[in-house]
Amino acid sequence: MQTRRVTQADIAAKLGVSHATVALALKNHHRISTKRREEVQRMAKKMGYQPDPFLAGLAAYRRSIEPSKFHGVIAWVNHWAQPEGLHRLKEFEGYWLGAKEAAKQFGYQLEEVCWPADCPAKRFERILLARGILGVLIPPHRQSPNWGNFDWSKFSLVRFGMSVANPDSNVVTSDQFRATVMAIANICRLGYQKIGFVLNRELDEKIGGNYTGGFYAAQKLFGNKAANALLIVDVQEYELQSVRAEKQLHEWLKKTQPDAVLTTLPELPGMIRRLGYRIPQDFPVAGTSLADIPVDTGVDQRAQEIGRIAVEMLVKQININERGEPSAPCRILVESTWQDGKSLPHRRAR
């Protein structure tokens, strides 16, 4: 004979507390003390409480059709030495735009909070707490920031990408490994057989070698002729010593003679043209980030989707009172897409 489902009201009656206290305690809400939360959760387990999936679905539906209430501010923490530099990179600006739109849908306001180099960690921490901020997004940084003795355990947090080594939070980022394999597969599809890859050493190291890993995986998948020339450069030379960098690139192009080039470097198309070559007539070029590399063929890393998913993850953490570095951090990898274009046309169309 089927027994009646245990409800939150039953747990409340057993403990002599309100239904609201039980509901919030089961969600790990910070308004309920840790001691009370543990007491409620122990009793729920003892009584065999199971959430009703139909009621949960109904509650989710009701929330989806109601106007979002304002729940507070999510901080986008910018610790760049020159904060405006973050928004000059269109990929990162896409993260911001996607996160801002998603925050609004969930009833939050996304605000950029700049952390000046001369501001002590504890002072910045107090600024966030005084504003009632519970959720923090950490965008990519060119140099891994020194957070000092900032106490991350007081905030829910999500990082974008792997350029920031700590805190060891959940991460949302592009899957550069699979994107590189996809890029080379599409360049092969367009009729090219000798593909060169020019990439930023520092960037590849920060993301754990995913670009070089994808390149070598493509060699095995599609044969050495499909991806056989790799040039790893120090990006500071391309930015500060362009003459030396152009000489290095010129020698590599003459030696390897690729019939198509894939690159992570925004500077590369301009350098190829300054060397007297034409794109695509002499060297067709595709980029690993169409947002920042000035070509129209290559990888769309779907930056705004990355921003949206990061906020979804952060709001969930806020709702269940998950603060600080999780015991088992997870990484969400967002799939990129490929875009055909004129900078690397089908070989028969050249």
- Does any domain span residue 104? yes
Most confident stretch, 60-64, 116-120, 237-241, 345-349? 116-120
- Mean pLDDT in residue range 250-271: 94
- Does any domain span residue 3? no
- Does any domain span residue 57? yes
- Mean pLDDT in residue range 93-115: 95
Q: Is 222 in the same domain as 344?
A: yes
- Does any domain span residue 118? yes
pTM: 0.81
Q: Is 127 in the same domain as 157?
A: yes
Residue 33 has pLDDT above 90, yes or no: no
- Does any domain span residue 152? yes
- Does any domain span residue 1? no
Last residue of a domain, one of 36, 65, 94: 65
- Does any domain span residue 127? yes
Q: Is 223 in the same domain as 345?
A: yes
Single-letter code of the amino acid located at 320? I
Domain containing 281: what range? 176-301+338-349
Q: Is 274 in the same domain as 320?
A: no
- Could you tell me what percent of the chain has a pLDDT over 70? 90
Kindly report the average pLDDT of the chain as a whole number: 89
Last residue of a domain, one of 17, 47, 65: 65
Q: Is 238 in the same domain as 129?
A: no
For the chain, what is the domain count? Answer: 3
Q: Is 187 in the same domain as 244?
A: yes
Q: Is 183 in the same domain as 282?
A: yes
Give the CATH number of the domain where residue 77 resides.
3.40.50.2300
Residue 156 has pLDDT above 80, yes or no: yes
- Mean pLDDT in residue range 308-333: 92
User: Which is higher by pLDDT, 2 or 78?
Assistant: 78
Q: Is 270 in the same domain as 184?
A: yes
Q: What is the pLDDT of residue 1?
A: 45
Q: Is 98 in the same domain as 227?
A: no
Segment 161-208, tens digit of pLDDT: 988 889 999 999 999 999 999 999 999 999 998 999 999 999 999 899
Q: Is 249 in the same domain as 165?
A: no
Q: Is 190 in the same domain as 280?
A: yes
Last residue of a domain, one of 42, 65, 88: 65
- Does any domain span residue 267? yes
Give the CATH number of the domain where residue 56 resides.
1.10.260.40
Q: Is 184 in the same domain as 143?
A: no
User: Which is higher by pLDDT, 295 or 245?
Assistant: 295
Segment 69-99, tens digit of pLDDT: 778 899 999 999 898 888 889 999 999 999 9
